[in-house]
Amino acid sequence: MEEDVRVYKTKKSISEAFIQLLHEKDFNQITIKDICTRSLTSKSTFYSHFLDKYDLLEKLVKKHADTFEREIARRFESMKQGNVGEVIETMIDQAAVHKTEIAALLNVHVSAADLRVEFEVILYNACRAYLEKEPAELAVSIDYLAKLYAANAMALLQWTLQNGKDASAVALADSMQRFIFDQVRRSHGW
């Protein structure tokens, strides 16, 4: 069932207010009153849609993590051997569309809703699954290579959100990612 337009607009207004506040204050300092004042909604309206600010945070993190996971999985499935540049470009372009939200959410570290952790896990799992498709005798473990991949991708993502997309930074990240995937290809004699 599709959501009523008024409900959608109200949730959107609350979410946008919350994101604006995250750019101004630490998550722990934000109150429901702050969110309601900024979104021009009442507390009863807020509570009719969300249990508390943690619920709001969890829903926003889940929305972005689900979108990110679908896109990364799709890119890894279509990736030609070693062409990791496509995955990196997609990740950066997707983040740019929701730059304000993602940048704010990446700085909130709550155990039940940590977008940075979610993105890292998604990247790690996608890379590991890709690397495991071709069993190989590696000098370095696939686990380590997948962690390097995720760390490199996250460093580029956060840098790009702060500084804008830079072709040379993307090219460097691509070179680093290629090195990771070359470890698997070398072990296969590719």
Q: 92-131, pLDDT tens digit by residue? A: 888 888 999 999 999 999 998 999 999 999 999 998 888 8
The dotted CATH code for 1-50 is 1.10.10.60
Q: Is the pLDDT of residue 42 over 70?
A: yes
pLDDT of residue 113: 95
pLDDT of residue 80: 58
Q: Is the pLDDT of residue 90 over 80?
A: no
Q: What one-character DSSP code corresponds to residue 139?
A: S
- Tell me the one-letter amino acid at 15: S
Tokens found for residue 38: 């900024």
CB within 8 A of 47, min separation 6: which ones? 32
| Domain-wise residue ranges, the chain | 1-50, 59-188
159 or 77, greater pLDDT: 159
Nearest to 36 by CA among 26, 22, 46, 27: 46
- Please tell me whether residue 127 adopts helix, strand or coil conformation: helix
Question: What average pLDDT does range 161-183 have in this prediction?
Answer: 83
Mean pLDDT (the chain, rounded): 87
The dotted CATH code for 59-188 is 1.10.357
Question: What average pLDDT does range 76-90 have in this prediction?
Answer: 68
Q: Is the pLDDT of residue 29 over 50?
A: yes
Question: What average pLDDT does range 137-147 have in this prediction?
Answer: 82
54 or 153, greater pLDDT: 54
pLDDT of residue 190: 44
* Measured CA distances, 36 to 55, 64, 89, 110, 145 (Å): 15, 23, 37, 21, 45
Same fold for the pair 1-50 and 59-188: no
The values of phi and psi at residue 7, to 5°, are -65, -45
Tokens found for residue 163: 């500084």
